[in-house]
Copies of this chain bind each other. A is one copy, B any other.
Amino acid sequence: MIKPLHLHPDRLFPSDADTRAVARRLHAEIRDLPIISPHGHTDPSWFAGDAPFANPAELLITPDHYVFRMLFSQGVPMEDLGVPCVDGGTIETDPRKIWRRFAERYHLFHGTPSRIWHDWVYAEVFGIEVRLSTETADHYYDVIDAALKTELFRPRALFERHNIEVLTTTESPIDTLEHHQAIRASGWRGRVLTAFRPDPVLDPDYEGFHANLAVLADLTRRDTLSWSGYLDALRDRRAVFAALGATSTDHGHPTAFTADLPAVEAEALFKRVSTGPATASDAELFRGQMLTEMAAMSVDDGLVMQLHPGSFRNHNAAVFRHFGRDKGADIPTRTDYVRALKPLLDRFGSDPRLSLILFTLDETTYSRELAPLAGHYPALKLGPSWWFHDSPEGMRRFREQVTETAGFYNTVGFNDDTRAFLSIPARHDVARRMDCGFMARLVVEHRLEEDEAHDLARALTYDLVKAAYKL
């Protein structure tokens, strides 16, 4: 049976009538504010070339690890979903078949944010009015595929249609930034910025670390096998990124560990990790030292630091072998911040020139570590609920567990952090609704006045983001 698809105007608001009424009023004033997307992983080549997206599967399934991880968990081989193999295996190449496999199993996403984001995209972006199912799979495919062939669904047109004021992508120091340069050169007025993500040249465990140092040397004409040359090369690349408009760096370390070694020890450590395979403890120590070095550079050049720690990357050995990284096999781990960050904070925690935005995959740290740290150190702010927790319940837990100790003003509004372009407006829609719902509860419980909630709703949606990321 074909069923209607309808985005209810009250979706995600608490059902209590008084609370919902407040949430509606708060939301009405911020729903149309522009989208500030200060951190994410979309592909800048989309906006540089403005080529059409190839087909529904390539737009909505193949790049979305939320989608294929769930299908894989329920027994669908990733090959059948067209996920590219790094080892040359055969994969499904018919996008319509991939789409049908997804559509037949859409019930697996009941209760997940993927369902919410996808339905938003189907209804709002493509104007579809029936629910996705086995019966409607081909209808969906045809509607989306036809739309993608039109000018209105080119990347830049979608960017503008969704009222995106700024969109930030993430590049490695050894990226040539050619797409960002092309965007600038094109005369298009969409504001797409890069962010400096140096893991490939900071983390001795990163694939190709030594080769990456060589590329970094080529790009900068620095001796990246000397400690001072390496640091200078990083400074050079940060300056290049900043000159192209970057305002932030991003660090995806396995832990939040930091170190602040005497210069001579740091140099010796760099010698060891740059010349041979690093031991596990040297690799961790070096990553920790480099976070502090990055903080020192941020104090100088003003780039806002983001720390996204705590993911056990590529947990499934077989999936990593066949498909490579970022294939839905990253698993959160318990993460310490209190001891881990102390060396960096002892040096820069009270320095008004540093701004370090912390994220977590370990929700136990919200009330125990992150809110107390951000509610004390001038250099610290808290990023929104992240990745697995970028969801209605995750956002609710974040606000409930963070606000009483850190307040709202030590948080930085919403990040979508996505590779799936069309999920950006969908995710911001969720975040705005959840924040309004949270504040509405405070209002009806007389813990916040409604006029204050109106000011806060705007701050969380727009002002705090721009201020925190210097946008």
* A-to-B contact residues, CB < 8 Å: 3, 7-8, 10-16, 18-19, 69-70, 72-75, 107-113, 115-116, 131, 312, 315-319, 328-334, 336, 338-339, 342, 345-346, 349-350, 352, 361-364, 367-369, 371-378, 380, 388-389, 391-394, 400-401, 403-410, 441-442, 444-449, 451-452, 455-456
Contact = CB atoms under 8 A, between A and B. Distances in A.
Nearest to A433: B445
Contact of A447 (B11, B376, B442, B455): B11
B367 A388 contact: yes
A208 B372 CA distance: 27
B408 A110 contact: yes
A329, A447, A449, most chain B CB atoms within 10 A:
A447
A367 B375 contact: no
Contacts of A456: 110
Contacts of A312: 338-339
Contact of A332 (B115, B350, B372): B372
A403 B445 contact: no
Contacts of A69: 375-376
B332 A13 contact: no
Given A368-B334, A375-B73, A109 B407 contact: yes
A89 to B, nearest CB: 14
Contacts of A13: 445
A212 B247 CA distance: 52
A367 B376 contact: no
B367 A394 contact: yes
A340 to B, nearest CB: 11
Given A331-B372, A362-B368, A448-B111, A409 B74 contact: yes
B338 A333 contact: yes
A376 B111 contact: no
A69, A377, A451, most chain B CB atoms within 10 A:
A377
7 contacts: A8-B446, A12-B445, A15-B445, A74-B410, A111-B404, A371-B388, A394-B404
Given A331-B338, A333-B339, A363-B368, 5 more contacts: A329-B376, A331-B369, A334-B368, A367-B394, A393-B400
Considering the complex of A and B, which 3 residue pairs feature the smallest CB-CB distances, nearest first? A11-B446, A8-B446, A15-B444
B73 A380 contact: yes
A442 B111 contact: yes
Nearest to A327: B376
A3 B375 contact: no
Given A73-B375, A319-B350, A368-B364, A116 B447 contact: yes
A368 B332 contact: yes
